[in-house]
Amino acid sequence: MDIDRPLSANERIKENSRFLRGTISESLGRSETGAISDDDTQLTKFHGIYQQDDRDLRAERGKQRMEKAFSFMARMRVPGGILTPAQWLAAETVGRERANGTLRLTTRQTIQFHGILKGNLRPLMRGLHDAMLDTIAACGDVNRNVIATVDPWRRDLHAEIATLARDLSSHLLPRSKAWHEIWIGDELVSGGEIEDEPILGRTYLPRKFKIAIALPPHNDVDVLAHDLGFIAIVEDGRIVGYTVTVGGGMGMTHGETDTYPRAASVIGFCRPQDVLNVAESVVTVQRDYGDRSDRKHARLKYTIDRMGLDRFTGLVAERLSVPLEPARDYAFAAMGDRLGWAEEADGTAHYTLFVENGRVHDLPGRRLLSGLHAIAALDVGRFIITANQNLVLADIPADRRATIAGLLAEHGLDDDVSGLRRNAMACVALPTCGLALAESERYLPGLITRLEHELERFGLREDDISIRMTGCPNGCARPFMSEIGLVGRTPGVYNLYLGGAYDGRRLSKLHRKDVDGDAIVAALSPLFAAYARERTEGERFGDYVIRVGIVHETKAGLDFHENIAAEAGG
Ligand code: SRM
Ligand code: SF4
């Protein structure tokens, strides 16, 4: 590393952890508290587990001098988001028996369980393990779940990128056996000393690392939001290689202008057989040069902006077995999911099911959890989670389609949603997320209902317009990539961003600061009216607000709010 400052506390915790063991087993055995030790809370992340507390209850329990209502969130590792129906049922079972009974589909194609009490962690993990599932490296300073475009309509191409997602995930997985020892009860590897982490290193990466694979024209993964991206280049019906992107990321901190979202930079093109080598080279440069002193500047985007893209690609090139070729161009059409039925020539069908903000539970008139249980019990096809928090019921044979359509209708799942709602995402935020400054998942549906009234007035109900909300500026629902972005500031108050590209190729810009629900509707309504009146043929809302100057595009990739530091850094 070329930074001469003391290492952050997390580096010491990792170093002393004996390859991610720490004292997690001891913490689990302590019955006097629902929590685990502070250091262990950092280490369990590498096992896909976060300690949380119910923030709705925090103040009241504080008054009563009670311990916080601690529980845990666990996140599965599901490369490409693909599950068998049996695995879906296993997840549902552990969610019901060991967590709060809901499943939460995430923006990175996996499932989170919330509200797991400490004593339920091991049984939950074992339930997943029995179904050939795990939570290894779903969180922590490692390569996270690898995401990939969901496109079962193009069977062979989708199969290829899904395999690549699995291979990348396995290749970059920690070699430590700690997960199996602690959660499943495999025999202890004596002290952990015999282990090694040839790729990630003893202290793992400086920070989280994320990979996405996109299959144009679909950019459902928002490929430019990730540390490393592979954009498939298809010629004559086969993938000839991938355009490689580096340094994307969403998170920032309000008021700290040296933190910023960044759209990834294109660095070249590689052949399919070289993808693992490219990934390993980028990951190890970040391992060796990333900032281990300040976690707010530790992501790859800051490493790249600090040293410059040329030096970074030079360092990567030194580690590659085969040099990168010049980048190939690509074109994206959209980043949203195509909801509803799609049928192939042989009658095989796929159904993309809208899951509002990824929350799978039963509501009056919309019994999602029960409906999916009934469908999974038929044991046909695959359940594929999208990076937009939706679910594709894929590969349904022609003779089962009617049964599944019947189950969807019976459970109230064949509803027609507006263009805005089907292009919406909200992060989890309250009550579980410890970093939330405002509501998100519990707030956005109501706000959309209000905005739908406005859109209907101007004949825009069916138009695809993307809107994303987060409860803080960490950007978990990628709000800086959507046409309308709302980012929590304090309870009930958000910053409003506009002008992201509908295909995910341009970041949004700050339009209004500190607005509440009424002010958001008041700000957007006249823009919707003007858009309906003035748009050109096929023009997207995000492009329109840039064209007419409601917000201004500046430098590509850095066209972000008032962030002068970002421009200087680029
Ligand atoms: Fe995230 C932290 C939820 C995708 C950027 N994210 C968190 C934590 C774990 C809060 C914490 O650290 O205590 C949240 C748990 C909330 C809860 O109660 O469940 C959380 N992030 C989520 C999920 C569940 C949002 C969702 O509604 O789907 C997504 C889970 C993804 C997964 O399955 O792995 C999720 N998070 C993202 C994304 C989107 C993406 O990766 O495509 C981002 C922006 C991209 C990026 O990483 O730059 C994102 N999450 C963050 C950050 C800011 C990181 C940064 O370096 O800037 C944090 C905070 C941190 O790491 O310090 C964070
Ligand atoms: Fe929590 Fe912020 Fe992520 Fe939302 S964006 S889940 S509030 S960390």
Q: What is the pLDDT of residue 365?
A: 94
Backbone angles phi, psi at 535, to 5 degrees: -65, 150
pTM: 0.96
Of the listed ranges 61-65, 88-92, 266-270, 531-535, the one predicted with least confidence: 61-65
Res. 564 pLDDT band, cuts 50 70 90 = very low
**How far, in Å, from the CA of 474 to the mean position of ligand 2?**
6
CB 94 within 8 A of CB 110: no
Asked if the domains 146-186+196-335 and 420-569 are classified in one and the same CATH topology, the answer is yes
Q: What is the pLDDT of residue 61?
A: 94
* Proximal ligand: closest to the CA of 41: 1
Residues 531-543: pLDDT tens digits?
Answer: 999 999 999 999 9
Q: What is the pLDDT of residue 411?
A: 98
14 classed as catalytic? no
CA atoms of 76 and 173, how far apart (whole Å): 14
**How far, in Å, from the CA of 433 to the mean position of ligand 2?**
6
Burial class (CB in 10 A: 0-12, 13-18, 19+), 263: buried
CB 223 within 8 A of CB 504: yes
Q: Could you report how far apart the first and last alpha carbons of the chain are, in Å?
A: 20
Res. 193 pLDDT band, cuts 50 70 90 = low
Please determine, for residue 175, whether its predicted confidence score (pLDDT) is greater than 80. Answer: yes
**How far, in Å, from the CA of 435 to the mean position of ligand 2?**
6
Structure-derived torsion over alpha carbons of residues 98, 99, 102, 108, reported in degrees to the nearest 10: -110
Catalytic residue among 104, 401, 433, 468: 433
Residue with CA at minimum distance from ligand 1 atom 8: 433
CB 404 within 8 A of CB 382: no
Q: What is the pLDDT of residue 555?
A: 45
Task: State whether residue 349 is helix, strand or coil.
Answer: strand
Q: Residue 263: which H helix or E strand, with range? A: none
270 classed as catalytic? no
Residues 260-290: pLDDT tens digits?
Answer: 999 999 999 999 999 999 999 999 999 999 9
Closest CA to 454 of 541, 546, 513, 536: 541
Task: State whether residue 350 is helix, strand or coil.
Answer: strand
118 classed as catalytic? no
C-beta atoms surrounding 554 within 10 Å: 13
pLDDT-above-70 percentage for the chain: 95
433 Cβ inside 6 Å of ligand 2: yes
Q: What is the pLDDT of residue 4?
A: 81
CA atoms of 339 and 565, how far apart (whole Å): 40
Catalytic residue among 144, 301, 421, 506: 144
* Proximal ligand: closest to the CA of 489: 2
Mean pLDDT of the chain: 94
Q: What is the pLDDT of residue 569?
A: 34
The CATH class, in words, for 340-417 is alpha beta
Provide CATH code, domain 420-569: 3.30.413.10
Which tokens in the block code for residue 61?
């329990």
Of 3.30.565.10, 3.90.1150.10, 1.10.3720.10, 3.30.413.10, the CATH number of 146-186+196-335 is: 3.30.413.10
210 classed as catalytic? yes
Residues 290-348: pLDDT tens digits?
Answer: 999 999 999 999 999 999 999 999 999 999 999 999 999 999 997 788 899 999 999 99
Res. 416 pLDDT band, cuts 50 70 90 = confident
139 classed as catalytic? no
Domain assignments of the chain as residue spans, ordered by start: 146-186+196-335, 340-417, 420-569
Closest CA to 197 of 110, 137, 246, 275: 137
CB 16 within 8 A of CB 10: no
DSSP state of 262: B
Q: Which are the contacts of 97, defined by CB distance < 8 A and separation ≥ 6?
A: 123, 127
Average pLDDT over residues 186-201: 73
Q: Which residues line ligand 1 (CB under 6 A)?
A: 50, 52, 73, 75, 106-108, 110, 112, 138, 144-145, 208, 210, 225, 249-251, 299, 358, 427-428, 432-435, 474-478
Write the DSSP string, 438-483: S--TTTHHHHHHHHHHHHHHTT-TTS---EEEESSTT-TT-GGGSS
CA atoms of 315 and 303, how far apart (whole Å): 12
Res. 570 pLDDT band, cuts 50 70 90 = very low
- Rounded to the nearest 10 degrees, the angle between the axes of helix 401-410 and helix 368-377 is 160
435 Cβ inside 6 Å of ligand 2: yes
Please determine, for residue 186, whether its predicted confidence score (pLDDT) is greater than 80. Answer: no
Residues 434-485: pLDDT tens digits?
Answer: 999 999 999 999 999 999 999 999 999 999 999 999 999 999 999 999 999 9
